[in-house]
Chains A and B, each alone.
Chain A
């Protein structure tokens, strides 16, 4: 084989063909642009959502380490840190919690850190100044300084109050470093020097205190996959058992790394749909373009161009078009994506916006677009390659496929023979290129289908069930952490007593029902192991966090959730087995249990089982299970593990076993005419007196409902808008190019007496037929797809009922018809600029 130096010629030919195909170029660039926008915008939104969630969680968790080991001795730390899999490990040692009065509302931990890496990983590295070295030095964040009323200037004196081993201490230090504090973080750090902390610990700390003076080590691995397994591996490999060393995973990483099968399918579905959309449009454009240029390709072949050369001719043109379309699409897509990020984030209740998306997404977007383009042109370019020289010169768009048209015998119906109806011609014209017809129909339908789905979805929100599930009473009050599932759980947050008492004094209060809660540590009940099999069976072996459950069960102790409810609170439960018998419950010998959080039919215990629960002092109490009941989400604790046995006791019994008798939450029912007064009181209180207290009312829930609904609408409408745009452009392109390609045909019919008005009528009939087909497709198969999609969505959500309406697609029909009429008129006018004689001559 020898290479012919033909690049220059082919390049010249491509440029030539390129220049003479302005209309095609315009549409192709738009198509490529839109495809790129689809990819870039979705990747931008997806990327931002993940990074925002991650950042939000990291800040709440208070660090970007992958995980950590807690309460270590120096010897344990030194052993663990040698493990090969650990990339970065550093630690800090806690001396005490600051007890300055001013810091009552801001948890402030007094520690030393062994290096800057650790401080940085905890988002607590001084940005001004440095970490302390000498005994009298201190570094902390601006939040702490603000609370203490100390200006953020290096050299300021800071007095810390703390207690160690029962001794109260008050020491003054010099500020040598500070950084911007973050309210999202659950605690602030005060760094002291290592020498000071070690001295203090040596002097005072008692040996048996597990926390004070222990090492908290933070680690990073080479990647974020299976962090928990790696942590466990480190512990086991170092010769310790899981009972000796506690570990923790930074949950922020679970968002991106624990991709479930479902989310992969969803992502795959969307990418697939975008590729399909882009494919429908781009391939249609090139299909038309190749059909139009078929004579040209035939001619090129006649004069000796090979199929390969024709292929590269097309490739070159496409590359040129992509060179314009893709960069523009990346920029526009990013802008569109960024605009939609806040809406998308509000859907999942994340307030932090981190839109620094990795540039890799642009690479991916470009790659996916290129893939789409490549797929799209492969068929048209094959057609061009296969053009046979003689045939091409005879061909036109009308019979691109050389397949013999079967002569269909039409019944010799008198009526049918009487007149050749224009609409019949239109139908024939539409059907003569079935592939093109199908492409255009589907691409028009996609936008319509998605529009229907969006509309149906936003209308299937059932406000009543949303409200009743979210709030069963007029008001629910509690600590902020009880309402925001993203806030780090710091054991039992409870109601502020002052707040609670003030509420009680309000006018018009009918019932205040207190929800008590605590989490207890109890030896693992061997009976729970059978759950593993049941869960596994339930999920058909596809439970991807089975390992985690297994690990959790291997721990000798479990976290149990125990609620204390009064009779009114119990009346809000959903009883699955057994009935409420509050009198029996009050005896203190009975308990109700909750089924598994995700599976109503899987219960940890059965009626009649005997269970043993420790109280706060560790004394075991035995109860008999009286029934199985579920607690509504709004009055439950907002966190749980995969295996969390949950128990409901009568409040009287519960209160007899705990020291802190403040409820976790209280539900308040008030007289009808006092609702707005109470609402005003609560708003004022949480805004002015205590920002940590939060209340929910029907009004706030409805507002939240509206927010969710409108967010769904915005995202859905944006998506359907882009899809609809693609469909419509595809349609316009088809109409224009086909009218252009049929110039000769129209000249022919005109010469034998078909008036322009008749031609126009026929063309419009063709457009209407396509629109009609798209509508039929949307209403038939599209409806089936939509309904099954909507059902899947509504099954997974308590406040979305099954609802489907194809109304939006019907409403779109007039718009499409107007577009069809306008495009037909305009392109027909364009054709008629050339006289019929000239058009006829073109054919000869």
Chain B
């Protein structure tokens, strides 16, 4: 089943002489349960693409279909709600809320929706990510790797359709990077979680089932 599909995705910044085509007609599909990585150099448009996929930014033209629905038909507020239900984000700089402890950070998207967490599922995530002993800590007291694991747990908590990871290991040393990536991989397999990961690192990209290459706003190889 195709869970994510882009159609002629274009994003143009500026106009005239200063016009930059960040995305220049991107078309690809992601099947349910797939672990896809999008790899490209700095400035290739991969971050813009990820933002589009997560509904953080709107394209100039083209569509992003999630579970068959064009997400940009939604208004801003609805798009935000869509995001917290269907998309889990993992950022390079973790983006945890400093005033909330680990547990609260993890269940925040659920809480915002007014939902109760699925305790069994949640426990299994927490256990798997090795956060059981850190639940009451504040993010500041955690190492980078631990913080990123919290971010992954948060992204998974609402059982999203797609987990979008933006350079998830960009701020981590290589040993920790390995840990985090294998956790991503394992969770993807265990929970049949669709993962789209952005990276500039060829080696990391290879962990995925499929690698999509992007250059100058266009897909150059799958």
Task: Give chain A's interface residues, CB within 8 Å of chain B.
Answer: 396, 398-399, 404-405, 407-410, 417-422, 425, 428-429, 432, 745, 748-758, 835-837, 840, 843-844
Contact = CB atoms under 8 A, between A and B. Distances in A.
Nearest to A836: B56
B141 A835 contact: no
B154 interface: yes
Interface string B70-94: 0000001100110111011101110
Nearest to B86: A753
A756 B99 contact: no
Contact of A419 (B51, B93, B99, B111): B111
Interface string B85-116: 10111011101111111011001111111101
Given A420-B110, A432-B99, A753-B85, 12 more contacts: A399-B98, A417-B117, A418-B117, A419-B111, A420-B100, A420-B112, A425-B97, A745-B98, A752-B155, A753-B83, A837-B56, A837-B57
B140 interface: yes
Contacts of B104: 420
Nearest to A744: B95
Nearest to B84: A753
Contact of A420 (B83, B84, B111): B111
B59 interface: no
A835 B95 CA distance: 17
Contact of A756 (B77, B93, B113): B77
Contact of A844 (B56, B93, B112, B137): B93
Nearest to A430: B99
B112 A753 contact: yes
B103 A748 contact: no
A752 B100 contact: no
Contact of A751 (B89, B92, B110, B140): B89
A753 B109 contact: yes
Contacts of B140: 399, 404-405
Majority secondary structure, A binding face: helix
B97 A405 contact: no
Contacts of A757: 77
14 contacts: A404-B140, A405-B141, A409-B136, A419-B107, A420-B110, A745-B98, A751-B56, A752-B95, A753-B81, A756-B76, A837-B56, A837-B57, A840-B91, A843-B95
Contact of A421 (B56, B93, B110, B111): B111
A758 B83 CA distance: 14
Closest 7 CB pairs of A and B: A753-B84, A420-B111, A748-B95, A428-B99, A398-B98, A755-B80, A419-B111
B77 A755 contact: yes
Contacts of A753: 80-81, 83-85, 87, 109, 112-113, 158
- Pick the most buried of A396, A753, A754, A757: most chain B CB atoms within 10 A of its CB: A753
Contact of A405 (B91, B92, B138): B138
B43 to A, nearest CB: 13
Contacts of A396: 98
Contacts of A408: 136
B100 A425 contact: yes
Nearest to B164: A751
A843 B98 CA distance: 14
B115 to A, nearest CB: 8
A754 B51 CA distance: 16
Contacts of A835: 57
A665 B56 CA distance: 89
Contact of B99 (A404, A429, A844): A429
Contacts of A756: 76-77, 80
B145 interface: no
Given A407-B141, A409-B136, A752-B89, A418 B116 contact: yes
B54 interface: yes
Contact of B108 (A410, A420, A432, A745): A420
Nearest to B82: A753
A429 to B, nearest CB: 6
A240 B161 CA distance: 110
Nearest to A429: B99
A407 B136 CA distance: 6
Nearest to B119: A417
Contacts of A428: 99-100
A837 B84 CA distance: 16
Contacts of A404: 140-141
